[in-house]
Structure 1
C-alpha cells in the first residue's frame, strides 16, 4: 500500500507549510489560486465523466444518492464535525485566516469532499488494491499538496486534520478492494468513475464560488452507482 501513504503525506506537508507561511503569502495568490484548483477539479471531473457506459444509471444514482444525502442531512452532520474540529484545533493553535464560522465550515466541507471522498481518491485506492498501481493517487497527491497549502493559509492547521479521514477512507478501500473488485465489471467501474466525476465537477463549481452545490450530500451516490449500473445492464441495457 503506497498511494494512501503518499497522498496523506502530501496533504499533511502542504497543510503545515501553508499554515506556517500563510500570513506571508500575497493576498492575490490566496484569492486566485483556489480558482485554479476549482478549474482543475472540474477538468478531472470531465475526464472521469467521459468513461460513462450507462448515463441513465449514473444520473439515477446521483439523484437517488443526493436525495438520501438530503434526507439524512449529511452535509450538516459534516459541518457539525468540522465545527467541533475547529474548536479542538483552536485549543492548540490559532487558525491563520480571518474567516467567519460560516465561511470556515463551507470551505472545510468542500475540502473534506475533495481530499477524502473524491472519485479520484476512491477509485485510485480501489485500483491500487487490485492492480498494485498507485499512479492515480500519486497524481492526486501532486494536486493535493498545493491545494492544501493554499487553503491552509486561510484555514490554518485544521486542514491537516483531514489526513485522518482521508487515509482511513483510502486504506479501507484498498484493503476491501480484493473483495469488491471481483464483483465489478469494466462498465460498472466506468459508471462509478463518471458519478465521481460529476461530484468533482460540482466541487469545482463550489470552490470557484460559481454555485454552492451541497456536494457532501451527493456522496451516497458513490455507494449505489455500481449496483444500479449492474441492474441497468441486466434489465435495460
Structure 2
C-alpha cells in the first residue's frame, strides 16, 4: 500500500488550498525563516541516512559518476523544460490563476521540480517500495505542506494540480522498486539509502540558499548506488583483502 505516496500528495493539495487563502497574509521574513528550517530538516534526514552507509567508496563513486552523467545529458535542464511544458497545460486547465508574468512561470517551474523531481521524493518512493518504510515520504510531507502553502501565495490553486504528476512519478518508482527488492541485499539497500542521504543534504543546502547544488543532475547517482555497492562487495573487497 503506497501510504507515503498518497499522504505526500494530499499534503501538497492541502497546503495549496490553505496557501491560496491565508498565504498572502504571511510576511516575507516569516516565509524566508521557514525555508531555512525546511532546509535544516532535509539535512537532518540526509545525515541520518548517511549513517547507514556500509561501503563509503561505492557511495562516493555513485554520487560522482551519477552527477557527471546528469550534467552530461543536461538532466536538470530537461526537467526544467518539462516543467515549462506542464505550465502551459496547467494554464489551460485552470485559466486566470496567477499573473502569468516571468516571476509566475519561474515559481511554477521551481515548484514542479521540487515536488515531482526532488531527490527526497525519488529516494523516499523507492525506499517505500523496496522496504515498506514510508518514514521518508511522511517526513517529506511535513515539509511539503507548508512549502506548498508558500508557493500557493503566488500560484494559487495551480499548486494543488502539481500533486497529479507527482503521484504518477512516485507511484511508478514505488512499483518498480518493489519488483527489484528481491534481488537486493541488506548492504546494497544501506548504501542506496546513504546515497539518497547525500542528495538530501544537497537539497537542504539548496533550500537554505547556501549553495545551489545541481540536485536534479545528481539523481542518476541513485540508480548507480546499488549496482556499484554489489560490484564493490563482490569483486573489489575480496581482491584488496
Number of residue pairs aligned between Structure 1 and Structure 2: 233
- Residues 148-167 of structure 1 mapped to structure 2, 5 A cutoff: 148-167=148-167
| Aligned residue in 1 for 2:84 | 83
Q: CA 1:79/1:235 → structure 2, altered by over 3 Å: closer, same or farther?
A: same
Alpha-carbon offset, residue 188 of structure 1? 0.6
Check the 8 A contact 2:115/2:166 in 1, yes or no. Answer: no
SS at match of 2:118: helix
Check the 8 A contact 1:53/1:187 in 2, yes or no. Answer: yes
| Aligned residue in 2 for 1:229 | 229
Question: Are 2:110 and 1:109 aligned?
Answer: no
SS at match of 2:98: coil
- CA distance in 2: counterparts of 1:116 and 1:166, whole angstroms: 12
Gaps of 5+ in 2: none
Alpha-carbon offset, residue 95 of structure 1? 2.9
- CA distance in 2: counterparts of 1:176 and 1:64, whole angstroms: 23
| Aligned residue in 1 for 2:36 | 35
Offset from partner CA, 1:79-117 (integer Å, 9 cap, x none): 112222233334423338983655654564344433874
Alpha-carbon offset, residue 38 of structure 1? 1.0
| Aligned residue in 1 for 2:96 | 93
Indicate the structure (1 or 2) with the bigger Cα radius of gyration: 2
Check the 8 A contact 1:82/1:109 in 2, yes or no. Answer: yes
**Which one of 114, 128, 147 corresponds to residue 124 of structure 1?**
128
| Aligned residue in 2 for 1:66 | 67
- CA distance in 2: counterparts of 1:216 and 1:109, whole angstroms: 8
- CA distance in 1: counterparts of 2:119 and 2:156, whole angstroms: 16
| Aligned residue in 2 for 1:13 | 14
Check the 8 A contact 1:17/1:149 in 2, yes or no. Answer: yes
- CA distance in 1: counterparts of 2:59 and 2:164, whole angstroms: 29
SS at match of 2:211: coil
Offset from partner CA, 1:35-87 (integer Å, 9 cap, x none): 11111111111111111111111111111111111111111111112222233
Q: What RMSD over aligned residues (CA atoms) do the two structures have, in Å?
A: 2.5
Check the 8 A contact 1:195/1:221 in 2, yes or no. Answer: yes
